Structure 1
Amino acid sequence: KKEIRRGSFYRSISLPAHVQGDKAIAEATDGVLKITIPKATPTKKKTIKVKAKTKKK
């Protein structure tokens, strides 16, 4: 998305859950702000065995 404005301004966006917001990088070059936010690494599914006990009557 491109926005061209003069003077100060404030912009807020919501981040999706699958990004690493704490590792965001912001660069300003020739008046252009570029923000790079890496994707989160997908977690592996884990299978858990469950032993069930039944009550005997």
Structure 2
Amino acid sequence: MLAEADLTTRNLAKVTTYLADRRYREANARIRAEVLGDHRPALTIIITDIYSEAWLL
């Protein structure tokens, strides 16, 4: 979606992530670092139950 708007992850000002379980927080941090590199937008992580166990994020 960013590319379609001629934007990159550097244009992100805020990221909100919903995690199915606290056990996914390390994987989430690792993936976020891979995707965002040294860019540090405002971040909110919400750990909550979800409707389907197939939905990890």
Q: Which has the higher contact order (CA 8 A, sep 6+)?
A: 2
- Same fold judged by TM-score > 0.5? no
Larger Rg: 1
| TM-score when normalising by structure 1 | 0.29
| TM-score when normalising by structure 2 | 0.29
> Quick check: which one's helix share is greater?
2
